[in-house]
Structure 1
Amino acid sequence: MSGHSDGQITIHPVKNKNDLREFVELAFRLNRGDPAWVPPLKGEVYGLLTPGKNPWFEHGKAQFFLARRDGRTIGRISAHIDALALAQPAEQGMGPGTGNWGLLEAEDEGAAQALLVAAEDWLRTQGMKRSLGPLSISIWDEPGLLIEGFDNRPTVMMGHNSPLYRGWVEGAGYQPVKQLLNYDVAIDDGFPPIVNRIVAAGEKNARIRIRKVDKRRFDAEAKLIMGLLNDAWSDNWGFVPLTDSEIAYVGKKLKDIVFEDLIRVAELDGEPVAFMIVLPNINQLLIDMDGSLLPFNWARLLWWLRKPQSHILRVPLMGVAKKLQNSRMASTLAFMMIEYIRRDAVRDYGTKRGDIGWVLDDNQGMNAVAEAIGAEVNRVYQIYDKLL
């Protein structure tokens, strides 16, 4: 990253299509030299940032900013407020008066600091008392700043940023408030004996049924799983409920990379009480696409999606109904879903490793499950806050 700090830095709110294009393109220009950065599909990025496309804007508002020096764009940031986050209890991390920032990219510290000041000023004008970030844009998209694990490429739907950003954010007065862990685990040889014993015991329990999702009933299955998610995660730090239109939107976005044998629902006495979603690592294709499906990348993608061979699979979401949490049944269901998906993944997708995240640093149940299967932390993301 090079930057000349002799010229004056000016901050500009994003006002039109050209500004927005600069906002999106800047990430490609600044990160192109980083071998671990995976260029997102530009269509997806525009979708995230556009009211009317991203249903988050039904309950949130955002202002995007560009930093320029001598007419050149050298940085970007978003400032945003989510009405559903403001309605959460303050002791859960969000709550009244808490606004957010995210999508930070900057050539140098001067640009980063100026952008953070602009985001904070905007939040203040909206009546916010605290700035929490980075979130791109909601807690469900890409939360946290990467602070450990820069040398391995992120898997599908995970963020990546320059190692310099941490010092710049902390230099602007931000304090760490929460860490999100990502785990890596070898899965081709199976799990430790204790896990296999728990799975075998669960298989003898007639009350338990672990089933695959049914893609023909995709919308109903997505609603069921996301409903479980809202319940399972409702006490978690940073939780903001997903709305019905967000659930439909996520479902539509994931539909093409959802495979029936990689998503399991656990039923207890016929009632769905837990789920696990696993996605093939589409990033292994995106790394060479430079953000575009044209001219031939869409054909490569469709061909790969017919029967993906994915060396790494990502587990972005897993949950157990609140009423069962911290029970032995919860861990039994978790281990059974993990093991069933592991077997299919190794056999049908050529998978050797699993990537599990994010897990809150204080989520004892999930961290215990990760430890039991021999997983190790390979990336750490940090969320910061600052009183305004």
Structure 2
Amino acid sequence: MTFKIKEITTRKEMKRFSRFPLKLYKNHPQYVPTLVSDEIKSIMDSPSMKYCSRKIWIACDDKNRIAGRIVGIINPRANEIYGYKRVRFGWFDVIEDFEVAQALIRTVAEWGASLGMTEIHGPLGFNTWNKQGLVIEGFENLPQFNCLYNYPYYPVFLERLGFSKEVDWIQYIMTATQPVPDKIERINEAILKRYNLHVLKWKKPGDFKPYLDDFFDMYNKSFMTVQNFIPLTKEEINESTRFYMKLINPDLSFFIIDGNNKVVAFSISFPSLSRALQKARGYLFPFGWFHILKALIFYKDIDLMMNGAHPDWKGKGLSSIYHYHTNKTAIRKKLRWAVTNPQLETNHAIDVWKEYNTRLHTRRRCYIRNINF
């Protein structure tokens, strides 16, 4: 196939870029589309652009039809923190044509090499709040709304290009109404009493606002041991708050507070939005907003989005407390399924799921290779 690589620089061109996956995965039962407007904003107006560099490309055939897309990112904060010189690739989608995939990846690699980078890895975004990791197992499962989906030929193409595994993320699925042993409740009460802790009672996002700065400070500290994690800047925190605070649900999110009124641990879950976003087909209007709003109010499945504890409080059993409360909510609401957010397979926090009756939902992989093809 004859094609050419074209750099994208305008918002008008970005609409074509963001609509491409809607055509590539049209009517695919597992693909969950991102809202086109959200994706354009996340790439063009990301607060991470205050310190990152990025380039956007598409591959077009001789009839000017898009055959693939990719974003190249250089995150100097990540390179400094971890002591490497890497260019990232993300928002990578391609038809089943190896030469197109090769050209897109090489375009990113050549750009990175021109700026002194020595390795290329991905798929990654600007930071860990963007979608990351190719699906390599679990193609038959519906992904969470904040996760990537891809055809099975994607990892085949990358491995053919000489990429190898950097890290894997694991997701599990479980019935949401698994019984909670009585002893767990007694243990949790003892932990709360021993350390003078309590679970925050709140009913609306405004009730949690006084804790936001403290929460994100703790979040940045608690995830520093996670590979490729980059602490969020103030601007990134503001953007994350703007997007996620409208989704947060007091029945599904729990914050453990110490005697100094500081957040020391947390667990945040969302109603599953995947089916709603499929019905929205990439757009809020005319009816996408209705499907999303309905999913936020009437839900049977949940996504266990994130959890963590301040480094000073790790190993003290606090995870048992927020898992217990999430479990009790699921039982009370008679929910069906809970899917865990991607966690690095090397993260010991993933061991908590061994206490539950789970099965593998999805395995995702970040690939890496030297930059010289």
Give 3-state SS (helix, strand or coil) of 2:283's partner: coil
Alignment correspondent of 1:86: 79
Q: 1:169, CA displacement in angstroms?
A: 0.7
How far apart, CA to CA, are the structure 2 residues paired with 1:164 and 1:194?
47
Relative to 1, partners in 2 of residues 1:156 and 1:195: Cα closer, same or farther, differing over 3 Å?
farther
Q: 1:23, CA displacement in angstroms?
A: 1.0
**Counterparts of 1:43-62 in structure 2 under 5 Å?**
43-51=37-45, 54-62=46-54
Relative to 1, partners in 2 of residues 1:160 and 1:59: Cα closer, same or farther, differing over 3 Å?
same
Letter of the 2:231 counterpart: P
Q: 1:63, CA displacement in angstroms?
A: 0.4
Q: 1:200, CA displacement in angstroms?
A: 5.1
5+ residue gaps, structure 1, are 1-6, 91-95
Alignment correspondent of 1:3: none
Match of 2:224 among 234, 239, 243: 234
Match of 1:34 among 24, 28, 36: 28
How far apart, CA to CA, are the structure 1 residues paired with 2:182 and 2:99?
53
How far apart, CA to CA, are the structure 1 residues paired with 2:320 and 2:357?
12
5+ residue gaps, structure 2, are none
How far apart, CA to CA, are the structure 2 residues paired with 1:81 and 1:206?
43
Deviations 1:112-166 (A, max 9, x none): 1110011101111122111111113433211111111111111221111111100
Letter of the 1:207 counterpart: N
Alignment correspondent of 1:275: 266
Q: Is 1:264 aligned with 2:254?
A: yes
Q: 1:13, CA displacement in angstroms?
A: 0.8
Letter of the 1:281 counterpart: S
Q: Is 1:181 aligned with 2:175?
A: no
Alignment correspondent of 2:87: 99
Q: Is 1:377 aligned with 2:360?
A: yes
Give 3-state SS (helix, strand or coil) of 1:132's partner: strand
Q: What is the root-mean-square deviation of aligned Cα atoms in Å?
A: 2.0
How far apart, CA to CA, are the structure 1 residues paired with 2:357 and 2:183?
11
Conservation of the 8 A alpha-carbon contact between 1:212 and 1:261: no
Relative to 1, partners in 2 of residues 1:312 and 1:16: Cα closer, same or farther, differing over 3 Å?
same
**Counterparts of 1:35-184 in structure 2 under 5 Å?**
35-51=29-45, 54-70=46-62, 71-90=64-83, 96-107=84-95, 108-184=97-173
Relative to 1, partners in 2 of residues 1:288 and 1:303: Cα closer, same or farther, differing over 3 Å?
closer
Match of 1:297 among 276, 282, 288: 288
How many pairs are equivalent?
367
Conservation of the 8 A alpha-carbon contact between 1:84 and 1:241: no
Conservation of the 8 A alpha-carbon contact between 2:271 and 2:295: no
How far apart, CA to CA, are the structure 2 residues paired with 1:267 and 1:218?
12
Match of 2:331 among 303, 322, 346: 346
Give 3-state SS (helix, strand or coil) of 2:38's partner: helix
How far apart, CA to CA, are the structure 2 residues paired with 1:123 and 1:212?
48
Q: 1:238, CA displacement in angstroms?
A: 0.9
Identity of aligned residues (%): 22
How far apart, CA to CA, are the structure 2 residues paired with 1:193 and 1:129?
54
Alignment correspondent of 1:93: none
Q: Could you tell me the TM-score, scaled by structure 1's length?
A: 0.89
Q: 1:290, CA displacement in angstroms?
A: 0.7
Letter of the 1:80 counterpart: I
Letter of the 1:249 counterpart: E
How far apart, CA to CA, are the structure 2 residues paired with 1:156 and 1:88?
29
Relative to 1, partners in 2 of residues 1:198 and 1:171: Cα closer, same or farther, differing over 3 Å?
farther
Alignment correspondent of 2:341: 357
How far apart, CA to CA, are the structure 2 residues paired with 1:89 and 1:304?
40
Deviations 1:51-78 (A, max 9, x none): 3xx2111121210111122132101111
